[in-house]
Structure 1
């Protein structure tokens, strides 16, 4: 199977090599891509600009198609970089697997007709216990009980408020979840904050522009406020229910932008950060790594899931997107739980899958 997968991605490596040869022939660009810190900053900055342009010009395409094409891949990246490469203990891995499975079952029950508010309350109870267990597991290794105690206060406050206002917390987490990847990147993967200041400033600045709601009129002038049967204001009904026009439009457009940033963080930025040294990873190396980490059955299930989402979207893109976003929300809580775990633990293990000798230089 490894050989088959490597052959499938070989054309991508050929394109990658050709692009690098061209880029290295341009001196200013070569200076940016040969050092990892600069390359990561360039990648994040360029993507933020592209995502902003797409949000202004075709926002509902991002909302509708982003999860369809990139959803499964970014969930797989979540699992790889937060769980499979971190050398976690078997008991903690079992807790993670059970918690993720319970969340998926709860969301499945909701999709089959169970009361959403009731499901949300049970869901947040599970998440609260999960984050509490994460703090205990992390503190057991680090002996940093003061950190864990502070974390328990935050987790307890979250759990109580989520039980009182489950619907509001779900809406809020839908938006805040897009920022979690940035926080994890900076806290767990980014060694030096200085080189990330430019992309962070871009992301914050462009988000604020979109949050104003004024860019809605730019999109309206382009005639693209409704594409694939989805209007920006219709999306606001589930992303910003009950808010005035500017606030609703701003939150919806910023969500489209930050969702794209969230995907790029897991698929483009974190993979580069998780390689020790200045090298980059070829597509064939990435394929071998995924096969080793997920196993043949897990890798096949990922491929089938991605294909299933694409096929289902051909029949009903919006229903497929909504179903994916509901069932895949377990990964958002996974990010919270692992953030709590590594906070109590005081950090994480370095990349276990790729060593300096396993990465190839960007040339």
Structure 2
């Protein structure tokens, strides 16, 4: 990808995107591992992680449409500053141990809600200032997938290396830096509607949004099935990281390769095909029988996941007016968080109640049902 194709906001956009994505992907592990290390429990840590995902969804749906293009830079600065302060507060609450730790889920929920519009605005901004939006979406996906590889490892390393308080404060520092960089990442002449006019037409976004939820639901289900299956076969889940690294690595490589081509045809057809393949891979995951087979499925899932997500983003950039793209991308982001949260809990529950095979097949069937429902709904509304 030739960076010269991007105008002056690109360096600030790149730094802001990396810092905010690393915060998003590191925070769940900082909460889970850090709260436990500070005298809490994994249950409380998991509750905090879930609270962040719920907060993201609430903020993306309800706060992003309230942003105005005239004050978007100011609102982003305020959002980053407030979230940085909330994370620092979490760190200092951890010093007190129980019962102060029980307040962290609320603060993390507020952090998720307030910060939720930021990724959508950044994604909309690069779509507007880039001379090639298709490549911009590929680059955005490379950063996103890389963050999901680095973030959880970084979160654990910060807690183990420096402690829970330092872990939360370092994430706060990421957002404090973003206070400076994020306003500079907004395109000149950036278009952003507010209120009712900020909401895109439902028929334009329903399929990409539902597909985003399905893709992330599949990802969460696969992420939880891997340690369950490895423990069942080998008595330990120590090789889980390698499997998930293959998935993320394959997705990053394919995202980069997709960015080489300037424009893609038949995006909707390709997106549907790769989304269907993602669901099929999940459906057979529970029936695998060895570590090499899991590695192979992880590679296939990563290869299919990248174009499924990128083409959905490109469809939004192509069809939705620029003034509504921040809201549309936030819906995409929120849907992914909702899908991930649901199946992250549903998959292990089904595995325990029945078996990993039943869990993977059931979640895949549910995802397929939701996809078909969205297609039928969009088709009926279009008539």
Shorter-chain TM band? 0.3 to 0.5
With CA pairs under 8 Å and 6+ residues apart, which has the higher RCO, 1 or 2? 1
- What is the TM-score normalised by the length of structure 2? 0.32
